[in-house]
Each structure stands twice: as structure tokens, then as C-alpha cells.
Structure 1
Amino acid sequence: MTTTSERMDYPGNIFVVAAPSGAGKSSLVKALMELDSAVQPSVSHTTRPPRGQEKHGREYFFASPPEFDALIAADGFVEWAHVHGHRYGTSKKAIEERIAQGADVILEIDFQGALQIRKTFANAVMIFILPPSWEELRSRLERRGEDSASVIELRLKNAAEEMARAGEFDFVIINELFERALFDLKAIVHAQRLRYSAQRRARADTFAALNIP
């Protein structure tokens, strides 16, 4: 895994969204991208099989274990991790190309991977999604209807470990009311675009006319 911290001044932003399974990060990220076309997804590689209507290259790049091993050997991932019995990885090259072009990239990623992203992209904006309660988290996992009872218990066990480290993120959103959580996520993205360095780059003519260095 890459561990060197890089504070590069890219025109685009990296938003890293992590959450315990069932907290609603996928729905929030999808809704954000539908509202804001300037936010582009980073598509991860995974060794797990597709679920439901998932398509290769859209939700994930589905790779066989040997294919995944080859990408690791080529240092193709900025991070990769074992999650619930499968491997997930994020392409460093793909992220760099997009943010170098000025795009805002959002990564919907597991907890382990999120912390690895920060080690490589020090300017990444780290966002953690929380459920409103343990009861609601369990209920969401059960309503999803994708996992056995034993898998749900494993996800809840992992959730306890992940949520205990929410303080390592820049922002925390409690997804109790979806519309409110989406508003909070949009606000974080908008605020990042209003930072001095971003505004100076985006509105260079205005800054020059006002003699702002």
C-alpha cells in the first residue's frame, strides 16, 4: 500500500465518504452526484461478485483474485483492503488524472481504505456517515435483504470498531433524515469550493482585478 503523504495543489477536490455498512453512504453519494454533475465517482476494483443490477465499470470494476493480485504487484492501488471477505482497491492514477483536470472526485469507500487515501492525498476531505442509532442500523441491514443473520452480526461488529474512530475524519454526518443528511453533504462540498485557494484558482481574473495576491 502507498504510505507517502502528498500535499499536492491539484485544481480538483477529493471527497472521501466512509460509513459502517447500512448507514446509507451509497444512497447519499448517488443523490449528491445526481444534483451536482461536477462531482465524479471514483470506481473501485473489487473481487466480490456483482450484486443485483450492478455493472462492471459503473459501480465497481469486478476483478478475479489473480487480476487483483496483478494490480497490487504493479503498485496500481493507492489503497486496498479486505472487507467482509473480499478485497477492494482504488486506482491512484485514475484519481490523479481527474483532479488534475479540475474535477471533484468522490470516493465511496470502506473505513480502512479511507484512512489509506489520507496518507497519499493529504488534502482529501474526509467525511464519515453515522446511523442515528444501533437499532436503526440493524433495521436497515435487515431491510436490505442481502445478508444472512450471521453476516449482519459481522457487519454490526465491524461497525462498532469503525464508529469508534470517527474522530479521525474531518466531518461527521448523522443520517437520520435523508434529506437533511444530503443537505449536509452538499454543504461540505460547497464549502470546500469556497476555500481561498479554490476561489483564487477559479476566479483568477477577479482576484487580479482586485489586486489580491
Structure 2
Amino acid sequence: MAKGCDIVLRVDIQGAATLRRILRNSAVFVFLVAASEEALVKRLIGRKTETVEALLMRVASAREELRHLKQFDYVVVNKEGDLEGSVKLLESIIDAEKAKVQQRRAVI
């Protein structure tokens, strides 16, 4: 980061809260979410990696995480079958942040 490189981290709600406490307003936080709860369930079932109990826990966890949405700077809706669109939107967010007169900078 000291060299001006962008860093993208995938963290849970608790990790994002910890990073926000450490980095304050020098980082940008993006919440990645499925298009709907139904889409999330369909995606999880399609993977065939979750037991019914685990699937129910994942959905409950996703509901809880949505309660923290306002703690993020941006939201990206990850639509089924449109990974490229989600990536482009994330890239646009990074570009927009870089174009700000007062950029957020964290030096670690």
C-alpha cells in the first residue's frame, strides 16, 4: 500500500469492522451481495457442498450480515451469471475513488 498499490481483501463483517477501526477513513469498503436471498439459496444448492443445516446457517448469516450494510461505502450486487459485470463495477468503484480530489490513503 505504501507503493500506491490497490489491495482487495475478502473479509467477513467482523473483519471489515476491525479494518475500519484500524484504517479509519483511509480505506474503501464494498459489500458484495447476491441479487436476492432466493438467488443465494439457489447458488448454494447448485454447489452441492452444503448440508441442509449448513445451508440454513449460511442464509441466517447472510441475513445478519445485511443488517450491517450501512457500515460500507458501496454495495455490489453479484448477479447470477454476471461475474464480469460485478468485477467491472468493482473496478469502477476503484477508479472513482482514485479520481476523488481527496483520496483515501492508508500507509501500512
Contact conserved, 2:13 with 2:68, CA < 8 A, in 1?
no
Structure of higher RCO (CA pairs closer than 8 Å, 6+ residues apart): 2
Q: In structure 2, what is the equivalent of residue 127 of structure 1?
A: 30
Which runs of at least 4 in structure 1 moved beyond 6 Å after TM superposition?
none
The secondary structure found in structure 2 opposite 1:109 is coil
After superposition, what is the alpha-carbon deviation per residue over 1:38-61, rounded to whole angstroms, capped at 9, x for unaligned? xxxxxxxxxxxxxxxxxxxxxxxx
Which range moved further: 153-162 or 180-189?
180-189
Q: In structure 2, what is the equivalent of residue 105 of structure 1?
A: 7
The secondary structure found in structure 2 opposite 1:174 is strand
Question: Tell me, which stretches of 5 or more residues in structure 2 are unaligned?
Answer: 104-108
After superposition, what is the alpha-carbon deviation per residue over 1:74-132, rounded to whole angstroms, capped at 9, x for unaligned? xxxxxxxxxxxxxxxxxxxxxxxxx1122111111111111110000011101001211
Question: Tell me, which stretches of 5 or more residues in structure 1 are unaligned?
Answer: 1-98, 199-213
The residue correspondences of 1:181-196 to structure 2 (distance < 5 A) are 181-196=86-101
The secondary structure found in structure 2 opposite 1:196 is coil
Amino acid at match of 1:196: V
Instruction: Give the CA deviation at 1:197.
Output: 4.2
Greater fraction of residues in helix: 2
The normalised TM-score by structure 1 is 0.44
Match of 2:39 among 136, 146, 167: 136
Match of 1:158 among 61, 69, 75: 61
Amino acid at match of 2:101: Y
The normalised TM-score by structure 2 is 0.84
The secondary structure found in structure 2 opposite 1:142 is helix
| Alpha-carbon RMSD | 1.4
Q: Which has the larger radius of gyration?
A: 1
| Cα distance in 1 between the residues matched to 2:11 and 2:2 | 21
Amino acid at match of 1:148: T
Match of 1:115 among 14, 17, 23: 17
Of all paired residues, the percent bearing the same amino acid is 30
| Cα distance in 1 between the residues matched to 2:48 and 2:14 | 25
Aligned residue pair count: 100
